[in-house]
A and B are shown apart, each in its own frame.
Chain A
Amino acid sequence: MEKKVVATSSLAGCFGCHMSLLDIDERILELIELVEFDKSPVNDVKKFSRRVDIGLIEGGCCNEENVHVLKEFRAQCKVLVSVGECAIMGGLQAIRNTIPLKECLDEAYLNGPSVKGCNEESIIPNDEELPVILNKVYPCHEIVKIDYHLPGCPPSADLIWNALRALVLDEKMEMPYELVKYD
């Protein structure tokens, strides 16, 4: 059987979901029998080299670069999966969605206790290399079509493993209660 190709990326996430993927421990040996990685932090490949079968996205979108990467993933991946709370709902970062952006930036760079008085020119970071921040944090499916959602913060290694296996082998996914209850 030809190996399926997987790509992954962390957008506005904490890399916890990627850590969770690595938590499959020795099953990683089994995994590399089944799949090959293209663009991914796992193998440190920065650019897509071909169209891939499965894309895993950690994190939502908080700036234009995230949007760019996400759209590229959508274009390159046959199946795209939102992995974890941040990708699915925006995560902790989305707390800022309840506050106007200007107010957030002012607090962060001008008025907050740790910056007050230190930013003499009252600059809000504006280097042209910096991606522009979005008006709010978006979950991935509000930007592109997402085929599957894997819940959890992070989803447990077993859940990611089961999902990947199911996608690769085209089987029904096992989702025992213990893996999708969160208390």
Chain B
Amino acid sequence: MRNAPIIQDSAMIESPEIMPAKSKLQHEVSTILEHYQHDKTRLMDILIDIQDENGYIPAEAIDYLSHELNISTVDIRQTVSFYHFFSETPRGKYTIYLNDSAVANMNGRKAVSKTFEKEAGISFGSVTEDGLIGLFNTSCIGMNDQEPAALINGAVFTRLTPFRASEIIRDIRAGKQVEEMFVASYGDGNNSSEFIKAVVNNHIMKRGPVLSDQFKPGEGIKEIVKMSPEDVIKEVKISNIRGRGGAGFPTGLKWEFCRNAADQTRYIFCNADEGEPGTFKDRVILTEKPFMLFEGMVIAGYAIGAKEGILYLRYEYKYLKKHLENALQKIRKLKLLGKNILGKKGFNFDIRIQFGAGAYVCGEESALIESAEGKRGEPRDRPPFPVEKGYLEKPTVVNNVETLCSIVKIIKNGGEWYKNLGTKESTGTKVLSISCDCRYPGIYEVEWGFSVNDILDMVGGDDVQAVQVGGPSGSCIAPNEFNRTLCYTDLATGGSLIIIGNHRDLLKGIILNFMDFFIDESCGSCTPCRILTVLLRDKLKKIIEGRGVMQDLEDMEDWGKIMKANRCGLGLTAANPILTTLKNFKNLYLNKIQINKDYDTGFRLDEALREGMKASNRKVSVLENK
């Protein structure tokens, strides 16, 4: 008798009827998994769907995914923990991500964040007790010309003021939908189309070949169907175009390397991660020229022999999803995408959109590929380069949005035509994102070879203290260098120009913010990138607080040199905010350091004791007693 229940128990475990029924969450995850055919390389998409559906990624979902996809929970968690927009705890029914970039701060972010905190009754980095509102900081969201800006459940809110912040919190409490909370009219151009409906402005101030209204869908593809892939590459090489994403690698050469790779399965990626603070030109191109961009991908695919293209789009631009998907549908209908493009037999090519989930380093091409494979966005060791072994180990070309758009014009008008634009080494045009202290911030497409002075004249920038060329990873230059020109041999840039007026506190307001940005965004693989960034930032803080000495300046210069030991461009450039201001604005530092002291660790006993006194409830310390 005593054994009976035990036997019964084990029988019950094996009996299928009492297997626990699938929970609601498991049902939901099953549907998502089916959508992605249980493909573990699509983990990013799967996690994004779970996050969007639930407002977070519950532990139960991770366990279930681990079981269904046959990957360990640790592997899933390391991906989840890597990206800013994934969370294992709820982020609120309404999640407010307020941009914390330098330019947002220069445009009055602080008052806005204070109001959000006051009205919501919580501080940034937390969620209200009722789970309604979550307040979080985020890195540059690509709206530098209309800051302070925030993402609320994926929708963009620009030009925020304290007044708007309290209005928004009130609307949330009143149960309004996010779309009902817009008060301004939708932005210019496609921003107000039915597929976008965003309160975002393009601010296109100067158009060139890429942004011109002259483009007709198919104008490039019509040309290539008459050409061999090799001839397409030849034309691109003639044009001498170099990558517009920042690194400036010759595009024709990159394509040729990939075309010559042995493996026949190849991929083309469009890099639309646009994470460099101050850059927003790809956002405008994606808004206004999606057909042109996709056409550029088709041409690249044809040239390198790829059947599949992937647009890697930053999560911040998710509000463009419907618009881009609609554009893909349209060009499929026009036979510019899909099977037998423009009737050419065997010319098959299609495109899908891959979202990131918030990580600047994923703009680095090998990190982008890792991310698209469903992993942490950690840059790979090279060689092998992506053109040999990229996405799913196959030869892969990664090109910037603007590069691919320029290609369409090169194919339509010829490489020789393109070479006439710009300078000898830097051919063509560059789309610039110009923001901050000038009268007309926005998007300017100019030929390479403009000097910084020309640009300042163009955008109405007077009384300028500094120009940050190429974002935080670029250089901060002073007026005595404003005669330098934008080109690959002088001031190379991915296109971000932040104009900093004389009334700004350059070190405290901008450079410190840039250092915090790199610290947040480092993937942590390389020791100097992980640690020196923090030590450099702390030194800078010490100097700003007036505790610095000459030795600190020397240390910063010396330590900056060690950054070359890092694996990827992020770490290689992460000391630049300090190094370039040390070089070009030495006086700002010299004015802050203590000239009469040759050593000061910055240690302050009263500060170091505060916490301990409070914890043990003491008013005076022993030393004070004596």
Contact surface of A with B, Cβ cutoff 8 Å: 63-65, 67-68, 100-102, 105, 124-126, 128-136, 138, 141-145
CB distance from A79 to the nearest CB of B (A): 14
Beta-carbon contact of B609 and A134 below 8 Å: yes
Q: Roughly how many angstroms separate A128 CA and B617 CA in the complex, as a whole number?
A: 11
Chain B residues in 8 Å Cβ range of A124: 615-617
Q: Which residue of B lies closest to A104 (CB)?
A: B615
B596 shortest CB reach to chain A, Å:
15
* B622 at interface, CB cutoff 8 A: yes
Q: Which B residues lie within 8 Å of A100 (CB)?
A: 611
CB-CB nearest 6 A-B residue pairs:
A133-B612, A145-B599, A126-B616, A135-B611, A132-B621, A134-B608
Partner of A64, one of B599, B605, B615: B605
Q: A124-B617, A128-B625, A132-B622 are in contact. Are A64 and B601 (CB under 8 A)?
A: no
Interface of B is mostly: helix
Would you give the shortest CB distance from B315 to chain A, in whole angstroms? 30
Residue B623 interfacial (CB < 8 Å): yes
Q: Report the separation of the CA atoms of residues A141 and B618 in the bound assembly, to the nearest whole angstrom.
A: 28
Size band of the B side of the interface?
20 to 34
Chain B residue nearest in CB terms to A103: B615
Q: Which residues of B contact A63 (CB under 8 A)?
A: 612
Contact assessment for B621 and A131 in the assembled complex, using a CB-CB cutoff below 8 Å = yes
Contact A126 B618 (CB under 8 A): yes
Shortest CB-to-CB span from A162 to chain B, Å, is 26
Which of the listed residues A100, A135, A136 has the most CB atoms from chain B within 10 Å of its own CB? Answer: A135
8 Å CB contact of B621 from A64, A101, A125: A64
Q: How far is the CB of B550 from chain A (nearest CB, A)?
A: 13
Q: Which residues of B contact A125 (CB under 8 A)?
A: 616
Q: Which of B425-452 contact A (CB under 8 A)?
A: none
| Chain B 583-622 residues near chain A, CB threshold 8 A | 599, 601-603, 605, 607-618, 620-622
Show the binding face of B for A, using Cβ within 8 Å. Answer: 599, 601-603, 605, 607-618, 620-623, 625
Contact of A129 among B601, B611, B617, B622 (CB under 8 A): B622
Complex contacts, A131 vs chain B, CB 8 Å: 621-623
26 A-B contacts (beta carbon < 8 Å): A67-B603, A67-B605, A68-B623, A100-B611, A102-B611, A102-B615, A105-B615, A105-B616, A126-B616, A126-B617, A128-B618, A128-B620, A129-B622, A131-B623, A133-B615, A134-B609, A135-B610, A135-B611, A138-B603, A138-B608, A141-B601, A142-B601, A143-B603, A144-B599, A144-B601, A145-B601
Quick check: A101 and B612 within 8 Å, CB to CB? yes
Cβ contact within 8 Å between B612 and A132 = yes
Contact A65 B609 (CB under 8 A): no
Do the beta carbons of A134 and B612 come within 8 Å of each other?
yes
Asked if A143 meets B601 with Cβ closer than 8 Å, knowing A124-B615, A125-B616, the reply is: yes
Known contacts A126-B617, A143-B603; 20 further A-B pairs (Cβ under 8 A): A64-B609, A64-B621, A64-B622, A67-B605, A100-B611, A101-B612, A101-B615, A102-B614, A128-B622, A130-B622, A131-B621, A132-B616, A133-B612, A133-B615, A135-B607, A135-B609, A138-B608, A141-B601, A143-B601, A144-B599
Residues of the B chain whose Cβ atoms lie less than 8 Å from the Cβ of A126: 616-618
- B613: chain A residues within 8 A (beta carbon): 132
Chain A facing B: main interface SS? mixed
CB distance from B598 to the nearest CB of A (A): 8
A80 to chain B, nearest CB (A): 11
Chain B residues lying within 8 Å of A129, measured Cβ to Cβ, are 622
A65 to B609, alpha carbons, bound, how many Å? 11
Which residues of A are found within 8 Å of B621, using beta-carbon distances? 64, 131-132
Residues on A with C-beta less than 8 A from B599 are 144-145
CA distance A68 to B605 in the complex (A): 10
Interchain CA distance A145-B615 in the complex, whole Å: 30
Residues of A near B601 (CB, < 8 A) are 141-145
In the complex, A132 Cα to B617 Cα: how many Å?
A: 11
Residues of A within 8 A of B611 (CB): 100-102, 135
A69 to chain B, nearest CB (A): 11
Query: For A133, what are the chain B residues with a Cβ–Cβ distance below 8 Å?
Result: 612, 615-616
Partner of B622, one of A65, A105, A138, A144: A65
A145 to B602, CA, bound (A): 11
- Please give me the residue from chain A that is nearest to B605 by CB atom: A67
Residues of A within 8 A of B608 (CB): 67, 134-136, 138
User: How far, in Å, is A32 (CB) from chain B's closest CB?
Assistant: 32
Q: Across the two chains, which residue of chain A brings its CB closest to B613?
A: A132
CA distance A133 to B623 in the complex (A): 12
For residue B609, give the distance in angstroms from its CB to the closest CB of chain A.
5
Query: When chains A and B are docked, how far (Å) is the Cα of A63 from the Cα of B620?
Result: 14
Residues on the B chain within 8 Å of A101, using CB: 611-612, 615
Closest Cβ–Cβ distance, residue A90 to chain B (whole Å): 13
Min CB distance B391 to A, Å, is 38
B623: chain A residues at CB < 8 Å are 64-65, 68, 131
Does the CB pair A142–B603 fall under 8 Å?
yes
Give bound CA distance, A143 to B601, whole Å. Answer: 6
| Closest Cβ–Cβ distance, residue B622 to chain A (whole Å) | 5
**Chain A contacts for B625, CB-based, 8 A:** 128
Max count, chain A CB within 10 A of own CB: residue among B613, B621, B622 = B622
Interface centre among A64, A67, A102 (most CB of B within 10 A): A64
Q: Which of chain B's residues have a CB closer than 8 A to the CB of A142? A: 601-603
Contacts of B609 in A (CB 8 A): 64, 132, 134-135
B610: which A residues are within 8 A, CB to CB? 135
Return chain B residues, CB-CB under 8 Å to A141.
601
A124 to B618, CA, bound (A): 10
Min CB distance A110 to B, Å, is: 11
Task: Give Cα A143–Cα B604 distance, bound, in whole angstroms.
Answer: 8
Distance between Cα atoms of A67 and B607 in the complex (Å) = 13
Minimum CB–CB distance for B605 against chain A, Å: 6
Q: Please give, as numbers and ranges, the residues of chain A lying within 8 Å of B622 by CB-CB distance.
A: 64-65, 128-132
How distant is B178 from chain A, measured CB to nearest CB, in Å?
A: 36
Chain A's closest residue to B626 (CB) is: A68
In the complex, which residue of chain B has the Cβ closest to the Cβ of A101? B611
Task: Answer whether A135 and B603 are a contact pair too, CB < 8 Å, given A124-B617, A128-B625.
Answer: no
Residue of A nearest to B603 (CB): A143
B621 (CB) vs chain A CBs: closest residue: A132
CB distance from A22 to the nearest CB of B (A): 30
A146 smallest CB distance to B (angstroms): 9
The chain A residue sitting closest to B610, CB to CB, is: A135
* B612 (CB) vs chain A CBs: closest residue: A133
Tell me the bound Cα distance from A138 to B614 in angstroms: 19
